[in-house]
Amino acid sequence: MGTVSRRARGIGGISAVLVAVAVVLIVRALMAPAAGGVDSVGGGRPAVGQVPPQFSGGAIDGSRFDLAAERGHVVVLNFFATWCDNCKAELPLLERLYQQRHDAGVDVVTVDFNDGGDARAFLAPYGVTFPALLDPSSRVGHAYLVDALPVTFFIGRDGRVARVFHGQLSDPTLSESLAGLA
């Protein structure tokens, strides 16, 4: 009977290990960036020096935006939501940047993240002329691991993240973040 008990414990131990491995794999799968329209590069929040997740999507004005097509330009990628007062406060600054530096190869794009509000109505009073993308499933924001708003990624002409700024942009922080990029 001692042999059977050891064998049963051995099988039980193996089963416990298999269950633990299965749980780890399931958790990793659930935490991975959402697929479908967003090409995740490397997983996790893109760090300075990394190529960020590539994406394309429809802008509010009906145009299409493709991050991969922006190579050679500086991209200011901003995430917002209609309920975010800090996001609202930085819109005039982003629009001014776009108007002043777009011809010099500085592009601005903003992505509506984790939001059920009316992005069109939110942006309309600010006369936003840069691409504003709707992301109803928040796939882009999840690929970038956005966890607080606003957050802005500064992507250099080489297609790599140059800086990440968490919080509301101001003239000084925007100038500092663009230094050496534009």
Region of 55 (left: φ > 0; alpha: ψ -120 to 50; beta: rest) is beta
Residue 57's pLDDT is 85
In this structure, is residue 22 part of a structural domain? no
In this structure, is residue 54 part of a structural domain? yes
Name the domain count of the chain: 1
Residue 30's pLDDT is 32
In this structure, is residue 12 part of a structural domain? no
Q: Which residues of 18-28 are buried (b: 16+ CB within 10 A; e: fewer)?
A: eeeeeeeeeee
Residue 7's pLDDT is 52
Give the structural domain span for 146.
38-178
- Hey, how many other C-beta atoms are within 10 angstroms of the C-beta on 79? 25
DSSP letter string over 29-43? HHHSPPPSSEE-SSS
Q: For residue 132, which of 117, 147, 149, 113 has the smallest C-alpha distance?
A: 113
Residue 14's pLDDT is 58
Residue 67's pLDDT is 94
**C-alpha angle 95-98-100 in degrees, rounded to nearest 5:** 110
Residue 5's pLDDT is 53
In this structure, is residue 65 part of a structural domain? yes
Residue 171's pLDDT is 94
Residue 135's pLDDT is 84
* Amino acid letter, residue 63: S
Q: Which residues of the chain carry a pLDDT beneath 50? A: 8, 17-43
For residue range 34-83, what is the model confidence (pLDDT) as tens digits?
A: 322 233 333 457 889 999 999 998 888 888 899 999 999 999 999 999 99
Output the six-digit token pair for 122.
């939110």
Residue 10's pLDDT is 55
In this structure, is residue 86 part of a structural domain? yes
Give the CATH number for residue 52.
3.40.30.10
